[in-house]
Amino acid sequence: MIEIKNIHKQFGIHHVLKGINLTVRKGEVVTIIGPSGSGKTTFLRCLNLLERPDEGVISLQDKVINCSYPSKKDIYWLRKQTAMVFQQYHLFAHKTVIENVMEGLTIARKMRKQDAYAVAENELIKVGLQDKLNVYPSQLSGGQKQRVGIARALAIHPDVLLFDEPTAALDPELVGEVLEVMLEIVKTGATMIVVTHEMEFAKRVSDQVVFMDEGVIVEQGTPEEVFRYTKKERTRQFLRRVSPEYLYEPKEFIKEPVI
């Protein structure tokens, strides 16, 4: 379980995160939705201290990290337990596909190259790139690059997988191939926190859906609670804009079926 308490982050006078609290149980998939500028990506980056929160606590595996004053050891430990899949891939252009996946294993995990190669090859097979091991990122489509990024994250066997809008940079026709890979990961019981604008994906895979706006969690619950029985008007406004099928059904007006 990962527990996040009272996370604050400011950039100058801009208060981006205003006391975020979230608990994610082992094996859960939590999707975070919301408008641009709501703090979703900043929050995700705070979870492995790519962004240093100004205040707050992260607890994982019974280890408690004070985000205001994390030690180098704490930062290194947390990043070993989490893996990020970035919106813009962040692949090394001068390295082959398999070398990109091996990098974290040989550098951070100090794994022998032959062992790292075997692990990387296995993960690339899982994401359907067994025929692309020795090509360079410039020779790949956007969807293939993102699948390399997913394989790289999976290779280190993290406790928590973090996805930052993994389909946002893709052409619409390539989105499906990445979502299918992510659906397969969900089936393995991985713990995942996903910032996404794919509403149907969020409905399909989530144990919890979190709606953020202006640096706070406005609403959270199961997909049914957030997408059907929405409690907050701000959430309804957002869903009306981004989900044409959105239909608000207040529970008090739902009629029981006639038998």
Residue 256 has pLDDT above 60, yes or no: no
More confident residue, 243 or 124: 124
Give tens-digit pLDDT for 227-254: 999 999 999 999 999 987 777 777 654 4
The domain spans of the chain are 2-242
Contact present, 101 and 123 (Cβ < 8 Å): yes
* pTM score over 0.85: yes
Rounded CA-CA distance 214/72 in Å is 31
Class of domain 2-242 as given by CATH: alpha beta
Looking up tokens 């097979």 gives: 125
What own/partner pairs with CB < 8 Å and gap ≥ 24 does 127-135 have?
A: 127/151, 127/154, 127/181, 128/177, 128/181, 129/97, 132/97, 133/96, 133/97, 133/98, 134/96, 134/97, 134/98, 135/96, 135/97
Give tens-digit pLDDT for 193-231: 999 999 999 999 999 999 999 999 999 999 999 999 999
When pLDDT is cut at 50, 70 and 90, the band that residue 255 belongs to is very low
The percentage of residues in the chain with a pLDDT greater than 90, rounded to a whole number, is: 86
pLDDT at residue number 258: 46
pLDDT at residue number 259: 46
